[in-house]
Amino acid sequence: MKLVVAVVQDQDSNRLSSALTKNNFRATKLASTGGFLRSGNTTFLVGTEDSLIPQLLDIIRDNCRSREQMVSPVSPLGGNADSYIPYPIEVEVGGATVFVLPIEQFHHF
């Protein structure tokens, strides 16, 4: 048994949620915020059997795409302003950050 924690950009959240449901994966969705860009994310928690991990990873990969986006960096508060860039920059956003963790016990009541 594994617990898969997938952090995805909000733009990919509904598409991934639908794909998980369609493929009979039950997931818990949590609203989260990224630390770097301070943008909205959704964190999915999925408990599943070891044998289904490749299928689950394929679903996540197929539904969470990275893209280029222009962002305005947040100015540092109380930090060193020497490295602050005051104009929008293009960064890669999206995709998914996925953690696969072993589960010692699983109970569903």
Write the pLDDT tens digit of every residue in 38-97: 667 899 999 999 999 999 999 999 999 877 766 666 655 555 555 555 677 666 666 899
Provide the CATH number for the domain formed by 2-72+87-102 in this structure.
Answer: 3.30.70.120
**What 3-state DSSP class applies to 41?**
strand
The pTM of this model reads 0.75
For 56, list phi and psi in degrees, rounded to 5.
-65, -45
pLDDT category of residue 33 using cuts at 50, 70 and 90:
confident
Q: What's residue 75's pLDDT?
A: 57
How far is residue 109's CA from residue 98's CA, in Å, rounded to a whole number?
A: 26
The CB density around residue 13, as the number of other CB atoms within 10 Å, is 19
Residue 107 reports pLDDT greater than 90: no
- DSSP letter, residue 36: S
Asked whether the beta carbons of 42 and 30 are under 8 A apart, the reply is yes
Are 8 and 59 in contact, with CB atoms under 8 Å apart? no
Which secondary-structure segment (H or E) carries 89?
strand 89-94
